[in-house]
Amino acid sequence: MVEHALAGVPDIPTAAAELLHTDLNHPSGLMGTVGDTTIPGDTDSTACAILAARILGLPAPPSSTKIDQLYDPDQGCYRTLLFEHNGSLSTNIHVDAVLALVLEWLTDAMTREGTPLCKWHLSPIYAMGELARVTATISHPLATGLHSMATAQLLALHNTDGGWGAHGSTAEETGYAVLGLAAAPIPLAPSPTLSGTHIATSMRGPPREIPLGLGRHSTA
């Protein structure tokens, strides 16, 4: 996501760069965030790592040789894990960021749902923010349509306190929404000062845990 940061691409410590390189060259061909418990790794983490390596100018193996082993031709999308039964929005959004091969599946997923949810997340903000951010840089009619749908969802979900959040505004959800809207050719984030004020004030207040995804919470 750092390609949309106002300060540009940050410097990365040598040790972190070496660790990323090692993980991207895992013998299984895919990397995972929890060691070897998700054999052979997961597509989402691998796609994000490849994208990060590209942004930071670090060497990365060819995308398709790693990710294609979890492509499901019957569904036309990528599985997150080896034995996953159906694809997830967030995984295929990140695959599109490095391969741009599942635009049709994403379009179908977006049009058959009212407010699309990724099955790994309890809030639609994460997936919609990432979809808006990723499709803003893909030159394809389907990507343009997906970007419009994602930004429309984000604008509709904007809370009156200036932030975003399915169960009350959080700094995390607000950050993803603003990144997605700011990626548009003409930035669409409404009242960036109000959004920034929400993030700043929420970080100063007493922490509260809000469930945002499978097995994880946001401290807002």
Question: For the chain, which residues make up each domain, given as ranges?
Answer: 1-87, 103-214
Distance CA 182, CA 161 (A): 19
Give the model confidence (pLDDT) of 29-81 as tens digits: 677 665 555 566 788 888 888 888 887 777 766 655 667 878 888 888 888 88
Distance CA 167, CA 129 (A): 16
Distance CA 106, CA 100 (A): 11
> What pLDDT, on the 0 to 100 scale, is given for residue 35?
55
Predicted TM-score (pTM) of this structure: 0.74
| 199-to-8, 135, 143, 167, 202 alpha-carbon distances in Å | 20, 25, 29, 15, 5
Distance CA 54, CA 174 (A): 25
> What pLDDT, on the 0 to 100 scale, is given for residue 211?
52
Give the model confidence (pLDDT) of 81-139 as tens digits: 878 888 888 889 998 888 878 999 999 988 876 657 788 888 899 999 999 999 998 99
> What pLDDT, on the 0 to 100 scale, is given for residue 216?
43
